[in-house]
Structure formats: structure tokens, C-alpha cells
Chain A
Amino acid sequence: MTTKKVKGSQAVILSLLEEGVDTIFGYPGGAIMPIYDALYDFDKHVTHILTRHEQGAVHAAEGYARVTGKAGVCFATSGPGATNLITGIADAMIDSTPLVCITGQVASPLLGTDAFQESDVVGISMPVTKWNYQITVPEEIPEVIAQAFYIAQSGRPGPVLIDITKDAQFGELEFQYKKCRKIRSYVPETPVDPFKVKEAADLINTATRPLLLFGQGVIIGNAENELKEFVEKTGIPAAWTLLGLSAMPTDHELNVGMLGMHGNYAPNLLTNEADLIIAVGMRFDDRVTGKVSEYAKKAKIIHLEIDPAEIDKIKKADVAVLGNSKKSLRMLTDNVKENSHKEWLQRFRECDKIEKEKIIDSELFPTKPGLTMGEVIRITGDKTNHEAILVSDVGQHQMVASRYFKFRKPKSNVTSGGLGTMGFALPASLGAQLGAPGRTVIAVIGDGGFQMTIQELGTIAQNKLPVKIIILNNNFLGMVRQWQQLFFDKRYSFTELQNPDFIMIAKGFGIEGHKVEVREDLEKGISKMINHHGPYLLEVVIEKEDNVFPMVPTGASVSDIILEP
């Protein structure tokens, strides 16, 4: 292998190019300036997106990663630059999103001296990274970056942070690059055990009320087709977690809806009737299970999972099938009998009917004057042919968007699930747009979350990214207000907002916008947004005190799901 003498800073860029990186999200500063200087010579090979805050950079990298399946890359300087990444890194950790974050650090002789813009980012990020490492000598750069990409993208993906001291960026090395293919202490995925598959298949073949729960593991494993084949062969109803959304078309007859706190009535209620739960790439999050001791008590549990630490963590598995979901689902399909569960499926249909009458009809086709979040989502979904990428923020609108947007294509849902990071959607949507330039990206955001990362309108405008932004404005921190109404005697403690003129703000950034306040303007407004060339902001003023139902109250069992207050 030939080598060439380069500076550490150049080695960083060359290494990223070797990994096929085409987009970097970042923000320069003192300790990362040599890397930015090296980047200046590579503007034809890699796009750098200057966000308006490091948190924007890391969420944008997450958005990019979630739609491409590749690691999102972001740059930040030392000190505050690095600490501003932490929320996004924690978000990526809990939602298994591959990231490679590169931070500049003060020169190595200054480490530990409280130097200007020094922060112990390796220490700070340790609990929220899959792996992190500090480079103090230039020679380590290629190998460590190769390891970073391997670790971030393999097995259960996650964020990796590489901290590079300024002297290592200035120093020289003989550059040669070799992709990392293995690490002695790290096994990304274990081969699927055929005996476990057989055991699982036996349970599946004899179950009378089986229910499959799918999570993001299906999407990360590119196992959408394998899931569909398994479900169609066995006739088993399948329900999704928030992050499993879009892994199976919404209108598939065996797709029985969303699990969890604001999920659908049928899959929550009938979880406790099922005699077999097949959990695929999901981790029994508390928002899914409700009260764990009352959860799925009549069911045996089969858990298909890549991460051994998830087995028996929350819910004890009767059969655990470790490994990649694409492989395990395929093997399972080969081992199960063709079947159908008509009577069992009928139970779901009956519950669906109740939910439709009590909640969905009035949410999607309201007759009262105030606009609902649901009708905005319904029309937006219809007008994008259910083929757009939905990026949602956190709160009531997130639940409504997830429930009603409807998907035909996989890898179309980007949201902050595990961490519930308000402010996620606007920057994530610009990253998603860069990762999927040919697709329509719809960002649905509440008026609260929008103001947490509002400055990224500047990034969207500067890069002419045609993101369609919908603000569902109820002048409240709606989800908190809902809880205050239901569980805190309507004591609306600090949840009402005095909002700015969002359209004027958008215009200030050079982004077109329109405000909809009445139903007559809604369809036209949404059409105008979708047909607009370039970024667009649509503010929809919705009913101030609407609630999201159904709901599994905290600490209640999933079968105690309530349809109305």
C-alpha cells in the first residue's frame, strides 16, 4: 500500500472520503480550525453544511443517518462546541442512530489545565456514546476513524465521538487507509442459532392469538421485506413501535397499528389477550409496555434482537433469537407453517371500529369550528401520496402525525423516540432532505419545539433545501398541558406561550410561508406548500386545548387504555 505524507487535519478529511462520506454537518471554532482549513481544499468532494448551532449539526446528522442508514458525520470545536453536541448524541444513542462526531480539542500539553475552551468531552460523552476516543498523535487518525465508522454502523448502531487535539491536527503522518472489519473485543452481531429459530417456529405454529411487535430493528436491518413475508405467511397481526413506523405499509391488512401510550386501541388492548408475542427489533420501552408486571401476562415471548443486553432486560423472553433481523426473520419464515388468524384478527377490527367512532372520525374529519392536528396530517399525507418522509418533533403533534400520516415506503419516518428531544425536527429535516434529495420531506413541529432550534431556518435557506415545515400552533406546550389537565387539576403551570409571528420570521430568513387559521384555507394552504419550489413554512393555528387520545396513563396497564378523559 502506498503512503503519502499529510497533516493530521488532511488525514481526517481523507479518511472521511475513504468511508464514502459526502455530507458533513458542522460548526467551526478555534480548536478545529486546522480540520476546517483542510476541508477548504475538498469542497468538490464533500458538502459541508454550516448549521446555526452545534445541536442543529448533530440532529441534522441524525436525520441524514436515519434516511440513508449510513453514519451521519458532524464537526464541532472544543468546549461549548463539543458540549452542544451532547443532546443529539444522547438522542442518537437511545435511538440507535449511527453518528461519527469529530470534535477539536485543545493542544495535548494543555489537556487538564482548564485551558480556553477546554472541556472533557470524552468524559462527558462517555455515558451517551457507543464508543469514544481522544487522539493526541496524528499517526492514530486513520485507524481510529476507520474503527469509528465500523463501530457506529455495525451491530446495533450508535454514536461515536472522536476528540482530536489541535497538535495532532497540525502534526504530520504517513497516510494510508484501511477500513476496519473487526475488533477483537467487539462482536457486532451473533450468527442466528437455527435451534432457537426452530423453538420459536414451534411456538408460532401452535399459537392461536399471536401478535407481532416490530421496532426500528427491522428498519436498521433492512428487513422490511422479510417482515412482510413472515407476516403474510403466518397471517399474524403486526403492530409497530414509534420507531418501527414505516417498516410496513400502513394500509397492509395485517398492520394493526401503533403500540404504546398514544398508540391504537386494538394492539394495546389485545397485547394482554395474546398468547404469543413476537417482538422484532424492539426493546419493550416503558412507553410501549405501560405497567410491565401487567404486560402481556398471557403470552409467551419470542424476542428477535441484535443486542444481547436487551434480552430479558424488561420482559423475560421464552425464546430469544439473537442476531440480525433480516437473517432471523428469513430463517423463521422458512420454519413456520402457512396460517391465518381470521377470528383473532376480527377482534382487532372490532376495536378499530370503536376507536374510529370515538376518536379518529372527529380528529380527521372534525365538524366543530377549531382545526385539529389530525386533519392537517390527513390532508398532508393524502397530498403527498403517502410517499413523503415525515420528520416530527416531540409532543402532541408527534403522536398525531405518527398515528395518521400513513406510509407506503420504508425509511420514511424520522422522529426522536427514546430521548424525546424537543427541537429535533427542524434540523433533522434538513439532514433528511440532504440524505434523500429526491424525496419530499415534511417536518411537523409544535410551536414550542420549533422555537428550540428555530435558527436552523437559516441553514435551510442558505442551502436552498426544499423542506416543507408545518407548525401546528396551539400556543401551548400541548403535551405538558394535556397532562396538567388530566393529572394536575388543570393547573397550567408555565405551558402557555406568547409566540412570535412565525411567517414574518420565516420571511426574515428568506423562506416563504403562509398562516392558516380556518378550515376553508387548509387544503389550499397545504397544496401551496407542497407545490412550492424550495423551502416553505406553513403555520396552522389549531384548537388550543385538544388532547391526544387514546392514552395509556403512566403506570397503567396497556389494557387499561382510555379512549376519552
Chain B
Amino acid sequence: MKQEYNITVFSENHIGLLTRITIVFTRRKINIESLTVSESAIEGVYKFTIVVKTTREQTIKIVNQIEKQIDVLKAFYHTNDEIIYQEIALYKVPTEALYNSDTVEKIVRKASARILEITREYVVIEKTGHKEETQALFEELNEFRVLQFIRSGRVALSRDPIERLSEFLRERDAFLDAID
């Protein structure tokens, strides 16, 4: 059964690795729904969060192929209910939309969004949440004509009490020390 899977990849910081990872998907004609990369809590280790819609079987094969890449430390996969995840969206609406009634203000309050910047011409609103939530806010605000809109890729944390990577790195270091 196809569903959303969140693939988390921890890697060394090497030029070209992003391409090597995306090749694993493109070669199998799997579309990446969302991709976020940034440095993790461990210095020099980068964390990729990749969302795909596919089967569990295919996801396992993808994770194995990603882990096979030389510069990848470890890859995990989770279903949506195994993680806590967020996306961030920014909306630019005309300032006059706020002058004419308090509807926009009510929408912002109800959505727990916040206003980042107000100028004479436009207002920038920020909302974090799942895609359905940020999309719902877009639909509502678009009644007043959204001038620009952007949504980020997904960031996610596992529900494990500890960062599994730290544990993994400890084991890996011990394994490598044993080589000497």
C-alpha cells in the first residue's frame, strides 16, 4: 500500500552527496514530495529529511541503497504517525485586506498564525503546521488575494526519547577502533 514515508539520512558533509541520494529516487522513478537538508546537532553531520509516497517494501530498498553510499552514515524511515513533523508557510496579503474588516485578523488568530511584517502595501503572515493546515490557511487568505506564498519542506523528529544517531555513532566508533 502506498503511503507517506519519511526517510531520514545522516551523512558526512560532502559535495555531491545530495545528487547521489536523489539519484537513488530518480533511477526508480520515485517522486520526492519534500526534501530538507541542514546540519544536525552533531557538528559536521548533515541531516536530510525526505518525504516520499510509496510502499513500505520500496522504502526499505531505497533506505538500503542510500546507506550503501560511501558518505552516508545512517538512514532511517518512519511513517507519519511515528514522527513529529512540521512545515512552515509564509503568506503575503495586501494590507488593505486588514483595513476593511477584521476577518483576516480572525483567521490569523484562529489558525495560530502570526504576522511577521507589515508595510503600507502588504502584510506577511507565518504559519507552522502540517501541509493540510498551511493549505487551509492559504485557501482562507486567498479570499483576500494572496500575493505570494511559500511552503518549506518537512522537518521531523522521531518519537524516540534519544537521538538514535548518537547511539549509532558510538557503536560505529567502537567498531572502527576495533580495527586498529
Query: Do A and B belong to a common assembly?
Result: yes
A residues with CB within 8 A of B: 122-123, 126-127, 130-132, 134, 151, 181-187, 307-309, 311-313
| Pair B11/A308 contact, Cβ less than 8 Å | no
Interface residue? B72 (CB, 8 A): yes
Task: Give me 6 A-to-B residue pairs in the complex whose CB atoms sit less than 8 angstroms apart, sorted by A's number.
Answer: A126-B23, A131-B70, A182-B176, A185-B12, A186-B71, A308-B64
For the complex, give the distance between the alpha carbons of A308 and B67 in Å.
9
User: Which of these, B68, B72, B179, contacts A182 with CB under 8 Å?
Assistant: B179
| Pair A184/B179 contact, Cβ less than 8 Å | no
Interface residue? B164 (CB, 8 A): no
Interface residue? B100 (CB, 8 A): no
| Pair A127/B61 contact, Cβ less than 8 Å | no
Q: How far is the CB of B74 from chain A (nearest CB, A)?
A: 9
For the complex, give the distance between the alpha carbons of A85 and B176 in Å.
34
Residues of chain A lying within 8 A (CB to CB) of residue B16: 122-123, 126, 132
Q: How far is the CB of A267 from chain B (nearest CB, A)?
A: 27
For the complex, give the distance between the alpha carbons of A183 and B11 in Å.
12
9 closest pairs, A vs B, by CB? A309-B64, A131-B70, A309-B68, A185-B73, A182-B176, A186-B70, A127-B23, A185-B12, A185-B71
For the complex, give the distance between the alpha carbons of A313 and B68 in Å.
13
Residues of chain B lying within 8 A (CB to CB) of residue A313: 61, 64
For the complex, give the distance between the alpha carbons of A184 and B172 in Å.
7
In chain B, positions 20-41 with a C-beta closer than 8 Å to chain A are 20, 23, 27
Determine the residue in chain A with the shortest Cβ distance to B179: A182
| Pair A126/B19 contact, Cβ less than 8 Å | yes
Chain B interface, DSSP helix/strand/loop, else mixed: helix
Determine the residue in chain B with the shortest Cβ distance to A127: B23
For the complex, give the distance between the alpha carbons of A38 and B79 in Å.
55
For the complex, give the distance between the alpha carbons of A309 and B67 in Å.
8
Residues of chain B lying within 8 A (CB to CB) of residue A131: 70-71
User: Which of these, B12, B60, B73, contacts A312 with CB under 8 Å?
Assistant: B60
| Pair B27/A127 contact, Cβ less than 8 Å | yes
Residues of chain B lying within 8 A (CB to CB) of residue A122: 16
For the complex, give the distance between the alpha carbons of A308 and B61 in Å.
10
| Pair A309/B65 contact, Cβ less than 8 Å | yes
Residues of chain A lying within 8 A (CB to CB) of residue B179: 181-182
Q: How far is the CB of B25 from chain A (nearest CB, A)?
A: 12
| Pair A184/B20 contact, Cβ less than 8 Å | no
B residues with CB within 8 A of A: 11-12, 15-16, 19-20, 23, 27, 60-61, 64-65, 67-68, 70-73, 172-173, 175-176, 179-180
Determine the residue in chain B with the shortest Cβ distance to A147: B70
For the complex, give the distance between the alpha carbons of A350 and B70 in Å.
48
| Pair A187/B23 contact, Cβ less than 8 Å | no
Q: How far is the CB of A153 from chain B (nearest CB, A)?
A: 13
For the complex, give the distance between the alpha carbons of A122 and B180 in Å.
32
Determine the residue in chain A with the shortest Cβ distance to B26: A127
| Pair B19/A123 contact, Cβ less than 8 Å | yes
| Pair A151/B68 contact, Cβ less than 8 Å | no
List 15 additional contacts besides A122-B16, A181-B180; criterion CB under 8 Å. A123-B16, A126-B20, A127-B27, A131-B71, A132-B16, A134-B15, A184-B172, A184-B173, A185-B70, A185-B71, A185-B72, A308-B64, A309-B65, A311-B64, A313-B61
| Pair A184/B67 contact, Cβ less than 8 Å | no
| Pair B60/A184 contact, Cβ less than 8 Å | no
Q: How far is the CB of A126 from chain B (nearest CB, A)?
A: 6
Residues of chain A lying within 8 A (CB to CB) of residue B61: 309, 312-313
For the complex, give the distance between the alpha carbons of A185 and B68 in Å.
10
Residues of chain A lying within 8 A (CB to CB) of residue B73: 184-185
User: Which of these, A127, A151, A308, A309, contacts B70 with CB under 8 Å?
Assistant: A151
Determine the residue in chain A with the shortest Cβ distance to B15: A134
For the complex, give the distance between the alpha carbons of A151 and B71 in Å.
11
Residues of chain A lying within 8 A (CB to CB) of residue B67: 308-309
Residues of chain B lying within 8 A (CB to CB) of residue A151: 70
User: Which of these, B11, B68, B72, contacts A307 with CB under 8 Å?
Assistant: B68
For the complex, give the distance between the alpha carbons of A78 and B76 in Å.
38
Q: Which of B11, B27, B61 has the most CB of A within 10 A?
A: B61
For the complex, give the distance between the alpha carbons of A309 and B16 in Å.
21
For the complex, give the distance between the alpha carbons of A151 and B14 in Å.
16
Known contacts A184-B176, A185-B11, A309-B65, A130 near B70 by CB under 8 Å? yes
Residues of chain A lying within 8 A (CB to CB) of residue B70: 130-131, 151, 183, 185-186
Determine the residue in chain A with the shortest Cβ distance to B24: A127
Residues of chain A lying within 8 A (CB to CB) of residue B68: 307-309
For the complex, give the distance between the alpha carbons of A311 and B20 in Å.
21
For the complex, give the distance between the alpha carbons of A132 and B19 in Å.
12
Determine the residue in chain A with the shortest Cβ distance to B44: A184
| Pair B12/A184 contact, Cβ less than 8 Å | yes
Q: How far is the CB of B134 from chain A (nearest CB, A)?
A: 34
Residues of chain B lying within 8 A (CB to CB) of residue A307: 68
Known contacts A126-B20, A126-B23, A187 near B175 by CB under 8 Å? yes
For the complex, give the distance between the alpha carbons of A130 and B71 in Å.
10
For the complex, give the distance between the alpha carbons of A313 and B172 in Å.
25
For the complex, give the distance between the alpha carbons of A338 and B47 in Å.
51
Determine the residue in chain B with the shortest Cβ distance to A132: B16
Residues of chain B lying within 8 A (CB to CB) of residue A182: 176, 179
For the complex, give the distance between the alpha carbons of A151 and B61 in Å.
22
For the complex, give the distance between the alpha carbons of A134 and B67 in Å.
22
For the complex, give the distance between the alpha carbons of A313 and B67 in Å.
14
Q: How far is the CB of B24 from chain A (nearest CB, A)?
A: 9
For the complex, give the distance between the alpha carbons of A467 and B133 in Å.
70
